[in-house]
Structure formats: structure tokens, C-alpha cells
Amino acid sequence: CPPLGLETLKITDFQLHASTAKRYGLGAHRGRLNIQAGVNENDFYDGAWCAGRNDPYQWIEVDARRLTKFTGVITQGRNSLWSSNWVTSYRVLVSNDSHAWTAVRNESGDVIFEGNSEKEIPVLNMLPVPLVARYIRINPRSWFEEGSICMRLEILGCPLPDPNNYYHRRNEMTTTDNLDFKHHNYKEMRQLMKTVNKMCPNITRIYNIGKSNQGLKLYAVEISDNPGEHEVGEPEFRYIAGAHGNEVLGRELILLLMQFMCQEYLAGNPRIVHLIEDTRIHLLPSVNPDGYDKAYKAGSELGGWSLGRWTQDGIDINNNFPDLNSLLWESEDQKMSKRKVPNHHIPIPDWYLSENATVAVETRAIIAWMEKIPFVLGGNLQGGELVVAYPYDMVRSMWKTQDYTPTPDDHVFRWLAYSYASTHRLMTDARRRACHTEDFQKEDGTVNGASWHTVAGSINDFSYLHTNCFELSIYVGCDKYPHESELPEEWENNRESLIVFMEQVHRGIKGIVKDVHGKGIPNAVISVEGVNHDIRTGADGDYWRLLNPGEYVVGVKAEGYTAATKTCEVGYDMGATQCDFTISKTNLARIKEIMKKFGKQPISLSIRRLRQRARQWRQQ
């Protein structure tokens, strides 16, 4: 049977009860598998249920609110930086009325289940035979001798059909989409991609961006009406997932998304057809397949909070990118510094490119991919929370660990984050319980990364400062690795958001920068008055600049060309405003071009005048 949902919050706080609690922050409502404590482990957000007394009469109880076939229990100790507490053995009791209790027994009496030997690794105990009841109670019998009674748990059980149970019918989530709702290992993921490509060969292409530490190819699927080529004027979008190998939900959502888009395109869904014809979409479901493999082998409930998070060589891909923030901010703070750093396309430092740098091969592959394709917007799907985080992810002050640190495009990033959060079924629901310790409701399910927790070298900050692409981190669920049975509901929670966020790539201005002969000018700098962040044109001279509705003075400059400005207006309707530029070469550039054409070098005017005078003197 699947989990009842303590970790996914399907089981509400009102369904959890305990004999005693040490304090409110260690109450029964905190006794959920994998729940994380706050940094301060304060009274509200601690990392387990802890009994008020250490004796064999303590218990924690789950009310399933309907008859359920209970089959197993998973336990952990207390999540804490400062203390060590876990239960080493326990009894299991069931009841239909919460008054008369029956213990799980075998031939020799009450079964004493073996608990945990440390605080983080989950331990599964299956009941000798399934038991049908409404309530289940865990009664600790022994615990770590230097600690106290503290537990996090998940209950495995199958709710029995009950047509009269209005509560259950009201909260049942179903999906009408005919998709492959299961967890896919590496081989199955590759096969699914092939199936999608076979169904939709005209709009899909499978390719890889490199290999993992263990040699697994990092496969991506492109969805476009002309797969394999960049079309001038068409923006490029990307979703990636699985940078942390154990955050599996994002991986499965991307696999579901590619199936869904193929099916809907074939069915003629005008919204999906329009999106595919006007956008080049790249879907990379597994950035860290080596880490995923570890989590997959442990299973959805037994990997704990971090098994498979890192690459094979122990690197966190998400924060493994060059720290360009510090370079930019040092340059801005030191006005007289000779080393000026541009506000965009900041070069990667030489030390990072050396072979000895601690950089994952997966990270290098992603950087090469980001530099090769002119992405405009991207989302990296993560897990363990329910929020959209936007850059900067690093605080500017070196003395703080949390501080709101906006980019020059803060208003655009906030809109992009809200576009996902507001269309998600739960992110902006004021009634929902916080996953762990943070309540993001005051920001409508969004958060500035640096105001949450600072990290240097994040993919979001790097993408913004090194490329044209605006990238956000989308945390798609409290449970990093939900049970297979949860996937249809998680798909329904995220489906509309995934599509709406892709559509935002068409918000702002776009255009082509050409010379007087109509040829596109690559690497021209596009600036917006009042926004201290520029972008550059692609190889064909085309560009896209994400902006909120309003009127903007847009400038363009390119080496050897005269600068130009014009006013461009962004409306509220979806669709980027066309804002093209035709610029001519400067006089100096034109002279150099003519002289080069005729095989002559430009000469200075002073030398030319001396030669003319000498010629005139000889003629006289």
C-alpha cells in the first residue's frame, strides 16, 4: 500500500495526536517523515514529535478518517543540528473508535518492532498481516539512551472504498490525461523519450548535452515546429530538473509534460499548437542521473532527505556555477577600479575553467549548453518545498545570510515567479500548511532567493549574469520523492503552471538588429533606459528582452556602428512587441572597410597632406 500522506501533507495536522509533547514546536503535527527543523529549532518549527516524558506510555496517533488497510510503518529520529534523539523500538496498535486499542501481535505476544539506530535514515517495518481500522498508534518502547522519545513517521495504508464518506469524495483528485504515471529509471526515461519522438517525429528531437560522472548521457527533448534549428525571431525556452538527484518529482513532471504536449499537438489543441509553432522548447529531465540512480534504488520513502542529492563526486550542481555576483558588485563598489565588469555577459573567471577547479562534469555540460543556445527564459524544477525562487540567490552583504537582494529586473522576475505560483493548485492557497518551516504566503508563493538563504554560484544568478536567459527555481512539492500513486495529483497541481510559465517567454519586446543591407548584426548590445542590465543579439541579429507592460526607451549599440534608440511599448496582451533596429556603420568603420576592400591601409590625414605638398613642390 502507498503512504497515507504525512510527508505530502495529505494528512492534516488535525489528524495527528500524541500523548504528550515537549513543547508546541515538537508536537504531533511535526512528526512527519523527512520534516526539517528551522535553523534555530525554535518553538514553532522543530524537527519531530518529541514526547513530554520519557516512559513506555507515550504514543503518537494518526486518524485516517476512514477504514484503512494498514500495512507498514516508516520511522526516523529527530532532525536536529544540536541533539540526537530517536526511538529504537515500538509497538503498533489500531482502533476503530480511538478508545479500544488492539496491538499488532504474533504467536508469542505483542510485536516489538525494531526502530532507528540514528536520526536520519528511514526504517521500514511491515506489519505481519495487514490490519483494517481507522486509527493507528505508535507506542515507543525504547529510545537512544542519551536522548529522548522523538519520532518522524509515515504510515503505509490503503483506504477502503466508502461511497458514503463525503469528506473523502470531496478531496479526491483525478486526472483525465492519459499519461505514463510512474517513476522512470534511466533506461525507462530514455525509452519514453523515444516513444514521444516516434509519436511526434515532426515536432520533437532527442539529443544529449554531455555525460555524467558515471558516463550516462544527459538527454534532452526539443519540441518545436522545426526541431534541430534556431528560427530567427523565435525565442528559446528550457526546463531542467534533477540537479539534485533525489528531487524526483521535477523529473517526472518534465516527462509528463513532453507526453502531454505531443498528445495535445496531435489532437489540435490550439493553445499547445500555437506555443510549439512560436517557441523552441528544450526539456532536460535529469541533470544528475547518477544521483537519481541512488535515490531510485532506495525507493520513494526510504532515501531520507539527501540520498542521491549530490553528483557521484559529491558536488551540488545547483550551486556549482561561477560566482559572477562578487565580480560585478566589487566592480560597482570600487568606482575607480581599472577592472570594469559589464552588467551582462560577464566572462567566466580563468580559475573556474582550469582542470583543477572543483566543477562537476555535469555543470560544465550545462554551461556549454547555455552558451550554445540563445535561451530567453528557463525554469529549474526542484523539490522539498512549494515556492518559486527568483534571483539574486546570493546576498550582497558578506555579513548577512538572508537579505532581499534584487536584480535590476526585479519586477520582471517577481511577475515570472507569480505567473507560476498563482496558477499552481496549492502554492498560493492561504489555507495550506507550510512544508517545513517557511511560510511563503506573504509573497504569494514566491521568494527572493537571497532573502530565503544565500548561496554563491547558483544556476539562476549565473544564467542572468553570463547569458541572456532569466532563470528561476521552481520547488514543485513538499515531498522530494513522492510515491507513484501521488503522480497524477502532482501533475494536476503543476500542469497549468508549467504551460503558463512557458508562455511568459513571449512577454516583453523582440526584434532584429540589421545593417543597411538587411544583414543581422550579432553581439549587438540592447539596453533599456532605467534598467542596469543589458542583453545581446544572437548570431542572426535577433533578440528578446523580457519586460513587464509599459513604455520603454530601448537603445542598441554595436562595434563599428552608430548607436540608436527608440521607444517601444509593451502591452498587457500576450505576445512580445516587435522592436527592430537598422543601424549604419560609423564613418571610421566605413573607411576601414573600403580601404581593406582595395587592399590599402588607412593613412593618417597629416601624412596625406605632407605627400600632397611634396607632389605640388615637384610639379613647380
Residue range of the domain that includes 522: 509-585
Residue listed under C-alpha cell 543540528: 81
**C-alpha separations of 270 from 214, 254, 265, 507, 599 in Å:** 42, 21, 8, 19, 57
Secondary structure of 51-94 as H, E, C letters: CCCCCCCCCEEEEEEEEEEEEEEEEECCCCCCCCCCEEEEEEEE
> Are residue 225 and residue 277 in the same domain, yes or no?
yes
Say which amino acid occupies 386. Answer: L
Number of domains in the chain: 3
**Residues present in the chain in total:** 620
Of the chain, the end-to-end C-alpha distance in Å amounts to 110
pLDDT at residue 165 in the model? 64
pLDDT at residue 171 in the model? 57
Mean pLDDT of 162-182: 73
pLDDT at residue 40 in the model? 74
pLDDT score of 610 more than 70: no
> Are residue 471 and residue 577 in the same domain, yes or no?
no
pLDDT score of 600 more than 70: no
Q: Assign residue 576 the CATH number of its domain.
A: 2.60.40.1120
Sheet order of strands, 531-536 included: 531-536, 525-528, 550-557, 564-570
What confidence category does residue 603 fall into, taking pLDDT thresholds of 50, 70 and 90? Answer: low
pLDDT at residue 13 in the model? 94
* 236-241 and 105-106 beta bridge pairing: unpaired
Average pLDDT, the chain: 92
> Are residue 212 and residue 117 in the same domain, yes or no?
no
Q: What percentage of the chain has pLDDT greater than the value 90? A: 82
What confidence category does residue 375 fall into, taking pLDDT thresholds of 50, 70 and 90? Answer: very high
**C-alpha separations of 465 from 1, 162, 286, 604 in Å:** 48, 56, 24, 40
Residue 175 lies in a domain: no
pLDDT score of 619 more than 90: no
- Sorted by sequence, the CB contacts under 8 Å of residue 318 that are 6+ apart come out as 243, 244, 380, 382, 455, 458, 459, 473
What confidence category does residue 336 fall into, taking pLDDT thresholds of 50, 70 and 90? Answer: low
Least confident of 204-213, 341-350, 379-388, 403-412: 341-350
The three-class DSSP label of residue 381 is strand
pLDDT at residue 498 in the model? 98
> Are residue 322 and residue 200 in the same domain, yes or no?
yes
pLDDT tens, 516-555? 999 999 999 999 999 999 999 999 999 999 999 999 999 9
Residue 394 lies in a domain: yes
Domain finish residue from 459, 478, 504: 504
> Are residue 328 and residue 263 in the same domain, yes or no?
yes
> Are residue 211 and residue 130 in the same domain, yes or no?
no
pLDDT score of 170 more than 60: no
Mean pLDDT of 362-368: 97
> Are residue 359 and residue 473 in the same domain, yes or no?
yes
pLDDT score of 110 more than 60: yes
pLDDT at residue 564 in the model? 95
Q: Assign residue 500 the CATH number of its domain.
A: 3.40.630.10
What confidence category does residue 172 fall into, taking pLDDT thresholds of 50, 70 and 90? Answer: low
pLDDT tens, 274-304? 999 999 999 999 999 999 999 999 999 999 9
Q: Which backbone phi and psi does 521 adopt, to 5 degrees?
A: -105, 115
Residue 610 lies in a domain: no
Mean pLDDT of 157-169: 74
> Are residue 440 and residue 493 in the same domain, yes or no?
yes
Domain finish residue from 451, 470, 504: 504
pLDDT at residue 282 in the model? 98
Mean pLDDT of 402-420: 97
Distance CA 333, CA 341 (A): 11
Residues in a beta bridge with 126: 72
> Are residue 513 and residue 493 in the same domain, yes or no?
no
In the numeric block, which cell numbers belong to residue 523? 553581439
What confidence category does residue 589 fall into, taking pLDDT thresholds of 50, 70 and 90? Answer: low
Among residues 47, 52, 74, 53, the alpha carbon closest in space to that of 62 is found at: 74
Residue 179 lies in a domain: no
Residue 270 lies in a domain: yes
Mean pLDDT of 238-244: 97
Residue 176 lies in a domain: no
> Are residue 80 and residue 49 in the same domain, yes or no?
yes
pLDDT score of 59 more than 80: yes
> Are residue 155 and residue 227 in the same domain, yes or no?
no
pLDDT score of 338 more than 70: no
Domain finish residue from 504, 522, 539: 504
pLDDT at residue 616 in the model? 75
Containing H/E element for 231?
Answer: none
> Are residue 491 and residue 518 in the same domain, yes or no?
no
Residue 238 lies in a domain: yes
Residue 181 lies in a domain: no
